[in-house]
Amino acid sequence: MVVTGVKPDSPAAKAGLREGDVISHMGGRMTRWGFEMWRLIDGWMKQAGPRTIGVRLKRSGLDRFKGPGDLSARIAFVVDDDSLYFAAQVTDDVHAQMMDGWGVWRNDSVQIGFDPVLDRTAYGYGENGHEIGLVLKDGKPTAWRWAGRRGQPVGLVDDVKLAVKREGDQTLYEAAIPLSELTPLSPDMWPHAGIDVVINDSDDGIDRKARLELRVGAMTRGKHPDQFADFEFAPSADKSKVSAALFWDRRSLGPGGRATLIVAVRSPATTRARILARLRSLDEPEAAPANAEIEIPVTAEPTEWRLSASTGSQPGRYRLDVVVVDPEGAVVVRDGLPIYIYR
């Protein structure tokens, strides 16, 4: 039940009800539609004497927004061959960040969500999505990861070059996020990616008071990459650059089984690339690793190669690392995952 108006000096006004409030309970009873509310009121009106009725309500928080000086922001993205750069100029009358770890989003911070290859999943980030936060606490900037690919742990992200400073009523965020932290994001292979940004605001350092979001609800009402904004990247000026991405298909080795991955590559000019694989034991770290190498052709259009790996190694826990290198030996992309070999 939505309050569409409050009469001045009425009991509702004296109780603090406001236009836009949603009444969910009256006198401890749910009010899911008009009939339930009027039935409760009618019953109380038939009783003699004044009554005090407890009301539970939901309030949007818009009444606490005091204009652009309270919370507003400008954001920008730039990409090159190595990193994705983000900048935000946040106007906020009070900077409050008292949280640690996973809960930093509840206070002043920035959240950035990525859908690198437009998987457009409706719920959750799936296999390829990422969510990274930027924080300033006690004068120290940090980057935090909430979601990443398998093998990328939740927690601090040390590889992000980050500068955050407070000047007057503004907080200035500047971050260089290596593309290797956002794999399989590859702007020259897939020029479109889904991105969402949330600017969080807290005045008391306890709870989030307000937020700004590039696509409302795409990250703050669950994680919905299918609602992210569609970003288009400008192409690299380096025509010899090789772009590549790795996708794991099967991760265990059994009788007749193979570890399988998909390698996607492209380059406007370079025609060859090499894939290097190394399998090392986690149970016997001193044992010599098994190595393999293969050369693949590269074309101007993105091409996918499905690769399978098998081994005669003993059952146990292993790690398989895969690297794609260009003809000069420069690493294009790398990834690795634990592999279990069973009988």
CATH number of 226's domain: 2.60.40.1190
Domain that residue 310 falls in: 243-341
Whole-number percent of the chain with pLDDT over 70: 95
Q: Which of 22, 40, 60 is the last residue of a domain?
A: 60
Clarify whether residues 39 and 176 are in a common domain.
no
Q: Are 141 and 134 in contact (CB under 8 A)?
A: yes
Structure tokens at 183: 């794999």
Structure tokens at 151: 């093998």
pLDDT at 75 (0 to 100): 97
DSSP letters, 59-118, are --SGGG---TTTEEEEEEEEE-SSEEEEEEEEEES-------GGGGGGSSEEEEEEETT-
Answer yes or no: is 262 within a domain: yes
Question: Tell me: the pLDDT tens digits for 303-342?
Answer: 999 888 777 778 888 888 999 999 999 999 998 888 877 7
Answer yes or no: is 4 within a domain: no
pLDDT at 2 (0 to 100): 86
Answer yes or no: is 55 within a domain: yes
Question: Tell me: the pLDDT tens digits for 82-134?
Answer: 999 999 999 999 999 999 999 999 999 999 999 999 999 999 999 899 999 99
Answer yes or no: is 1 within a domain: no
Measured between alpha carbons, how far is residue 155 from residues 13, 69, 142, 146, 147 in Å? 47, 32, 10, 7, 9
Whole-number percent of the chain with pLDDT over 90: 66
Question: Residue holding tokens 């703050």?
Answer: 220
Clarify whether residues 37 and 72 are in a common domain.
no
pLDDT at 36 (0 to 100): 87
pLDDT at 18 (0 to 100): 86
Q: Is 14 helix (H, G, I), strand (E, B) or coil?
A: helix
Clarify whether residues 82 and 132 are in a common domain.
yes
Question: Residue holding tokens 């004497």?
Answer: 49
Clarify whether residues 104 and 53 are in a common domain.
no
Clarify whether residues 109 and 253 are in a common domain.
no
Answer yes or no: is 148 within a domain: yes
Asked if residue 67 has pLDDT above 80, the reply is no
Clarify whether residues 191 and 115 are in a common domain.
yes
pLDDT at 122 (0 to 100): 95
Round the average pLDDT of the chain to a whole number and report it.
90
Structure tokens at 29: 């009873």
| Local confidence band at 186 (pLDDT 50, 70, 90 cut-offs) | very high
pLDDT at 229 (0 to 100): 98
Question: Tell me: the pLDDT tens digits for 234-275?
Answer: 999 999 999 999 998 765 555 555 678 899 999 999 999 999
Answer yes or no: is 3 within a domain: no
Q: Are 226 and 195 in contact (CB under 8 A)?
A: no
Question: Tell me: the pLDDT tens digits for 4-36?
Answer: 889 999 988 998 888 888 888 999 888 888 888
Answer yes or no: is 50 within a domain: yes
Task: Report the predicted TM-score, pTM, of the whole model to 2 decimal places.
Answer: 0.80
Clarify whether residues 119 and 261 are in a common domain.
no
pLDDT at 62 (0 to 100): 61
Answer yes or no: is 189 within a domain: yes
Give the sheet arrangement for strand 29-30, strand by strand: 29-30, 22-26, 55-58
Residue 125's CB: how many other CB atoms inside 10 A?
Answer: 21
Structure tokens at 255: 């009788």
Clarify whether residues 49 and 73 are in a common domain.
no
